[in-house]
């Protein structure tokens, strides 16, 4: 049968072999859809990266007409896209958008959805790849997956190039037991090859560039080990407080919200062994191995590996900032951590004796996400006379946000008749070299899901390995209540107690002043 093409999408290329696709977004009336997903799909269409036959179906509990959904997505693009709305390009996709409403636990609503997609396929005369994007609160992940199974949607076209796929947003579980249960539910309906657990940090250009920096440059990989590296620091700092997310955040905290997922991805990519190939499973295998090599965390009060804290009142850019317990929706007796710092010991040959220091928090001095590799000082006595030479540690800083790039700190002679030294910085900035209008993380991730490339997605055993490390910490905190909960002023770099994690080896946090 001659292949039919949807008239509104004529002219869009099937870049990288993307199959004809229908994307179903569960939670389509939510904030993530408006801020990230629809702008990402729009920008993919601008770049001719959608398949010729592309449909989008919003799915939610609230009844919305197709026209109202289309209008709302127009506004989402105008407000949140990195590019202005081009009506002629967006119209091709807009005409293929529709909306279905149903409770997430009612199979009949999913059967109706299946019938709608079947009718699309009949009109086209060929099968559509079905991508189910679950962008909902985590309490309905399970019911949605269950209904996808019972309605037959999950197994549609299985064994072919248009097999169904499911994309699941974080949080993937609250602890090890819930992550294992969710994996059990998912794997009872989908094959692991169909599952794409998304962490948008992996879609960031600088995070992807980490693999290139490590493995495509001969000057770095030979010294990326315990013989040359003094320590590794990973910071994910947010300047804002909890804002309107108080109710959600108080039930989550810094460890669940940022460290177990985003920050651990940075740890894994920084510390993993070279994969055998660029095959997605080879890369994900090495990430799992290094997470499993991290030693259990000590919860001792004075010399343990973990510090937690909550922000008190302070200053944000000179303006008064309220304490966490004074934010909307936060109980006065809350013991939820808004900051957590950890010291990892990785039990393998590459990293034996090299501490990894991890921290993340809200209401910190400024917004930044970075990986800092601090190298050991050169051996010998040259330039080592105490007080005579200002010798700084060589440090490689991979800046993930807000100013994406790489900085290398080295020592240089100050011009003059005497031998005086000072640290200097070599900068590479993405915006300077490549321009500032780079693709958003969700653009890359959605495109990769469409072509079935799982490199930048998290495998089920990886989530469980991460939770196995952190669940004992969460259990300990739950039993301790407010005992051991430190305090730090809003607008600072965190509590003084976190310095003790580094002092044992005479280290200190970057930007600790």
Among 200, 262, 507, 511, the active-site one is 262
Q: Read out DSSP for 178-219?
A: HHHHHHHHHHTTS-GGGEEE--GGGGSHHHHHHHHHHHS-TT
The C-alpha atoms of residue 264 and residue 280 are separated, in whole angstroms, by 18
8-state DSSP, 270? H
Long-range pairs of 374-383 with CB within 8 A, sequence gap ≥ 24: 374/229, 374/230, 374/231, 374/232, 374/233, 374/507, 375/223, 375/228, 375/229, 375/230, 376/228, 376/229, 376/230, 377/230, 383/411, 383/421
Q: Read out DSSP for 83-146?
A: S---HHHHHHHHTTEEEEE--TT-HHHHHHHHHHHHHHHHHHTS--EEEEEE-S-GGGHHHHHH
Cα–Cα–Cα angle for 459, 465, 466, rounded to 5 degrees? 95
The C-alpha atoms of residue 428 and residue 434 are separated, in whole angstroms, by 10
Q: Read out DSSP for 238-260?
A: -SS--GGGHHHHHTT-HIIIIII
Residue with tokens 């909890």: 242
Cα–Cα–Cα angle for 62, 63, 68, rounded to 5 degrees? 110
8-state DSSP, 34? I
Label each residue of 116-127 as H, E or C. Answer: HHHHHHHHHCCC
Cβ within 8 Å of residue 216, ≥6 positions away: none
The C-alpha atoms of residue 298 and residue 294 are separated, in whole angstroms, by 12
The C-alpha atoms of residue 225 and residue 351 are separated, in whole angstroms, by 6
Specify whether 262 is catalytic: yes
The C-alpha atoms of residue 34 and residue 438 are separated, in whole angstroms, by 19
Residues forming the active site: 262
């Amino acid at each position: 049968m001659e292949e039919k093409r949807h008239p509104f999408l004529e002219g869009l290329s099937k870049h990288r072999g993307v199959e004809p696709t229908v994307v179903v977004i569960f939670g389509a009336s939510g904030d993530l859809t408006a801020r990230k997903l629809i702008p990402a799909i729009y920008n993919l269409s601008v770049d001719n990266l959608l398949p010729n036959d592309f449909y989008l179906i919003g799915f939610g509990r609230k009844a919305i007409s197709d026209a109202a959904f289309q209008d709302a997505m127009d506004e989402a693009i105008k407000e949140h896209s990195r590019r202005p709305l081009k009506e002629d390009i967006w119209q091709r996709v807009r005409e293929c958008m529709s909306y279905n409403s149903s409770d997430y636990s009612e199979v009949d609503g999913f059967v109706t959805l299946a019938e709608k997609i079947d009718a699309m396929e009949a009109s086209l005369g060929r099968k559509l790849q079905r991508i189910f994007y679950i962008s909902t609160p985590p309490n309905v992940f399970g019911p949605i997956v269950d209904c996808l199974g019972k309605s037959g949607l999950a197994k549609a076209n299985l064994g072919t190039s248009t097999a169904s796929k499911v994309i699941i947003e974080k949080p993937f579980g609250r602890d090890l037991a819930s992550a294992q249960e969710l994996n059990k539910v998912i794997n009872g309906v989908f094959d692991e090859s169909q599952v794409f657990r998304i962490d948008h940090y992996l879609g960031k250009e600088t995070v992807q560039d980490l693999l290139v920096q490590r493995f495509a440059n001969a000057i770095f990989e030979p010294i990326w080990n315990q013989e040359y590296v003094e320590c590794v620091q990973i910071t994910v700092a947010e300047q804002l407080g909890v804002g309107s997310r108080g109710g959600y955040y108080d039930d989550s905290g810094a460890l669940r919200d940022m460290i177990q997922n985003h920050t651990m991805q940075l740890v894994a990519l920084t510390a993993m062994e070279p994969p055998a190939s660029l095959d997605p499973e080879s890369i994900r295998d090495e990430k799992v191995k290094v997470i499993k090599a991290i030693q259990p965390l000590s919860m001792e009060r004075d010399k343990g590996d973990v510090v937690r804290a909550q922000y008190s009142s302070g200053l944000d850019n000179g303006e008064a900032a309220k304490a966490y317990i004074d934010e909307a929706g936060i109980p006065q007796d809350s013991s939820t951590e808004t900051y957590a710092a950890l010291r990892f010991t990785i039990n393998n040959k590459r990293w034996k004796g090299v501490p990894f220091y991890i921290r993340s928090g809200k209401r910190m001095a400024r917004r930044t996400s970075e990986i800092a590799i601090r190298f050991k000082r050169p051996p010998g006595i040259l330039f080592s006379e105490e007080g005579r030479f200002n010798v700084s540690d060589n440090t490689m800083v991979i800046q993930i946000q807000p100013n994406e790039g790489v900085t290398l700190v080295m020592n240089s002679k100050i011009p003059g008749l005497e031998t005086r030294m000072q640290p200097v910085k070599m900068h590479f900035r993405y915006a300077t070299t490549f321009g500032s209008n780079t693709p958003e993380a969700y653009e890359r991730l959605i495109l990769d899901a469409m072509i079935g490339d799982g490199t930048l997605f998290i495998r089920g055993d990886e989530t469980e390995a991460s939770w196995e490390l952190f669940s004992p910490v969460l259990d300990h905190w739950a039993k301790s209540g407010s005992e051991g909960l430190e305090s730090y002023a809003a607008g600072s770099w965190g509590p003084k107690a976190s310095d003790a994690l580094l002092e044992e080896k005479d280290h200190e946090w970057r930007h600790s002043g």
